[in-house]
Amino acid sequence: MALYVDGFVISVPKRKIDANLKIAHAAGKVWREHGALEYRECVGDDLAVKMCMPFPRGIKSKKNETVLFSYILYKSRAHRDRVNAKVMKDPRLTAMMENKDMPMDPNRMLYGGFTVAVDE
């Protein structure tokens, strides 16, 4: 059974990183309680790369923003689907998603599901 990852890239105003991480901590608890193996939220630290397209250019970050990369690890895609079905019905997540003062623009979020092909 191959592991499965949901990956996210968002651009967040630097002044709102702490607010975003507070939401991520709460969301991570919800996902883990419903069976996710890992929940990680990573703040961009070395984004001025020259060898390829840097995340900020790819997601069109503004000068006052930084990029956060997040991922959730599951046992399989089927496991992801079961966990996410529970998470999406959890009132704690619903309340977070209805927050009108989100620290990031969810319309600019990049997302995808990935089968883990190399696990060293």
DSSP 6-68: EEEEEEEEGGGHHHHHHHHHHHHHHHHHTT-SEEEEEE-S----SSS--HHHHHT--TTEEEE
Domain ranges of the chain: 7-114
The domain 7-114 is placed in CATH, from the list 3.30.70.100, 3.40.50.2000, 1.10.760.10, 3.40.190.10, at: 3.30.70.100
- pLDDT per residue, tens digit, the chain (120 aa), is 689 999 999 999 999 999 999 999 999 999 999 999 999 999 999 998 888 999 999 999 999 999 999 999 999 999 999 999 999 999 998 887 776 678 888 888 999 999 999 988
Q: What is the pTM (predicted TM-score) of this model?
A: 0.91
Instruction: State residue 99's pLDDT score.
Output: 67
